[in-house]
Structure 1
C-alpha cells in the first residue's frame, strides 16, 4: 500500500503546499553554501513509523541531502532516542523540516496508539483493525502506521471488498417486517452476492441479533456486530458458531477493548486508531555545519 510512488506523490504535494514559491526565510538568511546536521529526536516514548516518508521530504527537496534513518518502522523507542540523522545544504534541510516532522509525528502517533490496543487484547485471539476513518489523501500512510503498531488493515477502499452497512440494509429490506423482513434481507443480499466475482469478500453489518441468521443464510463471509453490548456480543458469537468471521465495532476504547475481545470475536475495528491518535512529540535538532 505504501509504495514509493505514493510516498513521492503525497510528500511532493505537501512540500509544494508548504513552500509554493520557495522558502523565503531560508533564502534570505542562510548562506547558500551553509550545511547542516540534524537529528530526529524523540521527546517521548513510542513506536516509530514513517521512516521512508520522513526521508522523502528531504530527498525531494534536495537530492544532496543524506538521511540515515536508524529506527525501523514498528520499533519501540524511549524519550531521547535519536531516530534519524539528516545532513546536507542548510537551506534545504530547514525547508523540508516541518513536512518531514509532520508525517513522522502523525504516523508514529498512530503506531503508538495501535500498539496500546494490540497489547490490551494480547492472548485473546482477536485482531485489531483500522477503518476507513482516515485523513483524505493520507490513507496509505495512516494504514501503514497501523501495521507498524502491530494492527491490521480493513478493506482499503469501497472498491476492493463489500461491506453492507445499516443504511444499505435499510434500503434492501425497506418496509418489510418480522418474518418478511428476514426473507427480504436474505433474498436481497443473495441477489447482490450473485452479481459479484466469487473472489469478493462480503461483510454485512448488523445492529441486532435477529439479523444474524438472515445474513448468514445469504452467504456473508464476515458479520459485523455494531454497537452490541457485551452480553449480546457473546450471544452473537454463539449464534454465528464459526460460520463466518465475527467483527465487533462501535465505540471501542482502550478501557473497553479487552472485554470486547474476551467475548470471542475474531476482529475488533477501531476508528480511533486513525481519527483520534495524537501526534507523537518528535523534534529535529539542527546544528550548522557537519
Structure 2
C-alpha cells in the first residue's frame, strides 16, 4: 500500500471511532500526560501488522516511540511481549481499539495462513487468498496473508480476468466469452477460466487462456485434470479445501490452492494492550 493511501485508511478508521472526540479519555487524562505500555500476545500465533499499528498510534502522537519486540511474521508464544510503546497517554488510549482490531485481525489471518502453508512443506504448491475480504480492509488482510507465507490472488476486478459460470452463461459459451475479453484487454492481462468438469477443462485448453481454476473437484478428478492440462496453463484448485484435505489436493500437482476462509473466517489472535506505569495497569 502506498504510504499516502495507508495513512488515509488509518485516518478513516480513527475518525470512525473517535468522531467528535474521545470524551472518556479527555475527561480523565491531562493533555500532557505520558505513559508506557506493552502489546502482549495472549495466545500463540503469527504476528502481522506491527508497522501499521505503529502508524495508528503515531497518527495521534507523532512523537510516540514504538519498539517492536518481535519480527513481522514471527511466531510468538502466549504472554510474549510483542511491542513496547511510550508517548501521550491520551493518544495511546484513544488509538488503542483501532490498533488492536487491526493487529488482532491481521495476526489471526497470518496465523491461519502459516498453518496451511506448513501443511504443504516440500510441495511446489502455493496457498492463495481470494477476494472474500472485509470491505475496506482488503489491502490489510492480503498483506497479512503474505506475512503468513501465502500468496495474493488478484487484488480487484481490474487486476485480471476470471471467467466464472455466470460470465460464460451470459456470453453464450466459453469461446464467446474468451473472444470478447481478448477484444477488450491487452496482451499483458492474464485470463483465468473456472472449470467444474473435465469436459470444461478440455474445452478451455483449446482457447487462448493463461490459467484454469479447478473448482470443487474431488482429488481423483483433480489428478486427471492436471494430467490432461500437462503444464499448458497454470492451475489452481478451489473449493472444499480444509487443513485436513489441503495436502492431498496439493499433491495432485496443481500450482496453487485458493482458500477463501483465510480472510472471511480467520479468528482474531488474542492480543492486549497493558499500561506499565504505576497506577495504570492491565488496560485491555
TM over 0.5, shorter chain: yes
CA shift, 1:186, in A, is 2.6
Q: Which residue of 2 aligns with 1:190?
A: 179
Contact 2:167 2:177 in 1 (8 A): no
Within a 5 Å distance, the mapping from 1:73-222 to structure 2 comes to: 73-173=72-172, 184-222=173-211
What CA deviation, in whole Å up to 9, does each residue of 1:83-103 have, x standing for no partner?
Answer: 111111111111111111110
Out of 204-213 and 186-195, give the one that drifted further. Answer: 186-195
Q: Secondary structure at the match of 2:157?
A: coil
CA contact (8 A) 1:189 1:215 kept: no
Alpha-carbon contact 2:146-2:152 (below 8 Å) kept? yes
Q: How does 1:1-80 map to 2 (within 5 A)?
A: 2-80=1-79
Select which of 221, 231, 246 maps to 1:242: 231
Tell me the residue number matched to 2:270: 281
**Does residue 232 in structure 1 map to residue 221 in structure 2?**
yes
What is the CA distance between 1:5 and its match in structure 2? 2.0
For residues 21-57 of structure 1, the C-alpha deviation after alignment (integer angstroms, 9 at most, x for no partner) is 1111111112233211000111111111111211111
2: CA distance, partners of 1:188 / 1:95 = 51
After superposition, the C-alpha distances for 1:47-72 in whole angstroms (9 at most, x for unaligned) are 11111211111111121322112322
Q: Which one of the candidate residues 240, 243, 246 is aligned to 1:251?
A: 240
Secondary structure at the counterpart of residue 218 of structure 1: coil
Aligned match of 1:265:
254
RMSD (Å), alpha carbons = 1.5
Q: Distance in 1 between matches of 2:179 and 2:207?
A: 5
Cα pair distance change 1:100/1:106, threshold 3 Å: same
Q: Which runs of 5+ in 2 are unaligned?
A: none
Change (3 A) 1:187 1:32: closer
Q: What secondary structure is seen at the aligned counterpart in 2 of 1:57?
A: helix
Whole-Å separation in 2 of the counterparts to 1:100 and 1:70: 16
* Superposition deviation, residue 194 in structure 1: 4.0
**Deviation for aligned residue 1:187:** 4.5
Q: 1:162: Cα distance to partner?
A: 0.6
SS in 1 for 2:159: coil
Q: In the TM superposition, what whole-angstrom CA distance separates every residue of 1:203-239 from its partner, at most 9, and x where no partner exists?
A: 0001111011221111111001100111110111011
Q: Distance in 2 between matches of 1:86 and 1:123?
A: 39
The alignment of Structure 1 onto Structure 2 pairs a total of residues equal to: 279
Distance 1:89 1:10 in 2: 22
After TM superposition, the structure 1 stretch with the greater mean CA deviation from structure 2, 121-130 or 62-71, is: 62-71
TM-score using structure 2 length: 0.94
Moved over 6 A (4+): none
